[in-house]
Amino acid sequence: MAWLLVIVAGLLETGFAVCLKLSHGFTRLWPTLAFCVFALGSFGLLTLALKRLDVGPAYAVWTGIGAAGTAIYGMIFLGDLVSMLKIISISLVIAGVIGLQLAGSGQ
């Protein structure tokens, strides 16, 4: 259950990062409000998960999902540059997160 919270928190991190961009420096109301909701949800779920998980692997999964998800979303929906180096780098982030998880967190 704790890992499910981390995964959902990571997806919410993607949401708050995208909304941060769409808020244009907090000058647009709805993206700013969405940023706040996603950020509070993300941090709240991560906080709950950390009651049962080691901080290193949990944080790595949370940030990995957020970083990879945000980069992928940007390339698909926001017109961010797509390159082989970006795709390889996202793959390496995911591989690193999986490696940390396989290294063991005691859960």
- Residue 14, pLDDT score: 98
| Cβ count near 42 (within 10 Å) | 23
| Cβ count near 21 (within 10 Å) | 15
**Token code pair at residue 66:** 């957020």
Instruction: Residue 89: name the closest of 76, 72, 74 by CA.
Output: 72
Task: Quote the number of domains for the chain.
Answer: 1
Output the tens digit of pLDDT for each of the chain's 107 residues: 999 999 999 999 999 999 999 999 999 999 999 999 999 999 999 999 999 999 988 999 999 999 999 999 999 999 999 999 999 999 999 998 888 878 865 54
Domain of residue 52, residue span: 2-102
- Residue 18, pLDDT score: 98
Query: Is 64 within the bounds of a domain?
Result: yes
- Residue 89, pLDDT score: 96
**Token code pair at residue 101:** 């998880």
Query: Is 92 within the bounds of a domain?
Result: yes
- Residue 106, pLDDT score: 53
- Residue 1, pLDDT score: 93
Name the amino acid, one letter, at 58: A
Query: Is 73 within the bounds of a domain?
Result: yes
The three state secondary structure string of 10-32 is HHHHHHHHHHHHHCCCCCCHHHH
- Residue 30, pLDDT score: 98
pTM attached to this predicted model: 0.90
